[in-house]
Amino acid sequence: MSRRLMLGIFVIIFLISILPNRTYAESINVSVSAQAAVLMEQSSGRVLYGKREHEPLRIASITKIMTAILAIESGKMDDMVKVSSNAARTEGSSLYLRANEQIRLTDLVYGLMLRSGNDSAVAIAEHVGGSLDGFVYLMNEKAREIGMEHTVFSNPHGLDDHEEHYSSAYDMALLMQYAMTNEQFQKISRTKSHRVEQDGQLRVWKNKNRLLTQLYKYSTGGKTGFTKRANRTLVSTASKDGIELIAVTLNAPSDWHDHMNLFNQAFDMYKIETLLEEGILKKIHDDFYKNKVYAPYTFSYPLSEKEKEGLEKEITLYKPPTKEQMKNYQPPQPVGKVQFKINGETFAQVPLYMQMEKAPNKSKKNSSFWSRFKDTFFFTIGVKHRD
């Protein structure tokens, strides 16, 4: 995925995240076994279901999602990694790495995500971060960058060897949302088995994620976890009919069923709707703004049928300049915004920009979606600038 597209995604996520809590949402009615859970639509970041989703809890091996994405982003995936004795003797789930053997970082990441190798996690951390402490620092810096406000990492694997190692269901969904913008991470996450042939030895690692390998045909990947203190943890992704979902459960005795039930109801209830096309807005008739105001990107959002019935779109623009002001006038950028509301409550907004010379319309043909719900425009000319 290009950096430009990735930036666009996070602009959208930011614009949505700063808006107030949305009480209009039609609830997903699912009973889950998990102590904490969340279901997020991947492209928009919209939370479709939450249960104690901001509560900090132990997370076990879903920690390794962060370890994997940092390794991928390091640019060292083709490096040969020398396994330290410290990595080789790491307890718990293991790839059975040998001290001083050399193995490609890419293969270590596959072993990390598919077989949940704790020895692999330490080997990756030491190579990418220079030391365990150095890598943990990178983990926490990335967590802050993504916006994981209820998270502290103290190791690269999730073992219960530190008290200060926890996250929330929502934070882990944010992490998975970020990681899934990386094509290499996507490929590794959805891989069912991986073969490594080296020095006459064949290793085959099969994915522990039963949703992917056996149970759920719409599964696109994820990461399992378990320790005695955290119990069962799971992050998984699924895709159907253009909707991509992320589910997270913490301390869930029946996590496979929790995830399938959440996915199934969301797929039944929601569709991704294009609410605004990139390009010139044709329905602005003010002489100054006509055929000059444009949306910088296409905005889509998951909505239920009931929510679409109350959908409104409100366009707000700055007051046009007077004739005296026109000589050296430069329009503010952005020049306004489009707000999207359901039953009068704003749930998202997109900035609008203005070009001084007429440009060809870059937007695509209007979706027939607009003919299926209330399409209400409010033009407010003369908005005061707010710092």
| pLDDT one-digit tens code per residue, 44-54 | 999 999 999 99
Please tell me which residue, 12 or 296, carries the higher pLDDT value. 296
Task: Please give the average per-residue pLDDT across 219-239, as a whole number.
Answer: 98
Could you give the residue numbers annotated as active site?
Answer: 61, 64, 116
> How is residue 138 written in tokens?
């990178």
Tell me if residue 353 falls in helix, strand or coil. Answer: strand
Predicted confidence at residue 7, as pLDDT, reads 43
Helices (H) and strands (E) in the chain, counts: 11, 17
Predicted confidence at residue 357, as pLDDT, reads 56
- Strand positions, DSSP E, the chain: 36-41, 47-51, 80-82, 102-104, 193-198, 201-206, 219-227, 231-240, 243-250, 270-276, 279-280, 293-295, 299-304, 311-318, 336-342, 345-354, 379-383
| pLDDT one-digit tens code per residue, 178-192 | 999 999 999 999 999
Please tell me which residue, 339 or 366, carries the higher pLDDT value. 339
Instruction: Residue 375: count other Cβ atoms within 10 Å of its Cβ.
Output: 13
Yes or no: say if 97 and 103 are a contact pair by the CB < 8 Å rule. yes
CATH architecture of 31-269: 3-Layer(aba) Sandwich (3.40)
User: Residue 255's closest CA among 232, 274, 222?
Assistant: 232
Residue with tokens 């707010």: 386
| Global confidence as pTM | 0.84
Q: Kindly write down the DSSP assignment for every residue of 199-212, as one continuous string.
A: TTEEEEEE---HII
Predicted confidence at residue 33, as pLDDT, reads 98
Yes or no: say if 178 and 147 are a contact pair by the CB < 8 Å rule. no
pLDDT at 222 over 60: yes
User: Residue 52's closest CA among 164, 150, 169, 173?
Assistant: 169
Residue 95 DSSP code: -
Domain extent listing, the chain: 31-269, 277-383
Predicted confidence at residue 34, as pLDDT, reads 98
Please tell me which residue, 234 or 364, carries the higher pLDDT value. 234
pLDDT at 384 over 90: no
- State CA 76 to chain mean position distance: 24
Predicted confidence at residue 341, as pLDDT, reads 95
Strand 36-41 to strand 243-250: parallel, antiparallel, or no bridges (unpaired)?
antiparallel
- Range of weakest confidence among 19-28, 84-93, 242-251: 19-28
Beta bridge partners of 301: 273
| pLDDT one-digit tens code per residue, 373-383 | 333 333 333 33
Crossing angle for the helix pair 105-114 and 64-73, nearest 10 degrees?
Answer: 160
Can you name the CATH fold of 277-383? Spermidine Synthase; Chain: A, domain 2 (2.30.140)
Cα–Cα distance, 184 to 155 (Å, whole number): 23
Cα–Cα distance, 114 to 352 (Å, whole number): 44
Angle of CA points 258, 260, 264, to nearest 5°: 120
- Range of weakest confidence among 280-284, 324-328, 337-341: 324-328
Percentage above 70 pLDDT, the chain: 85
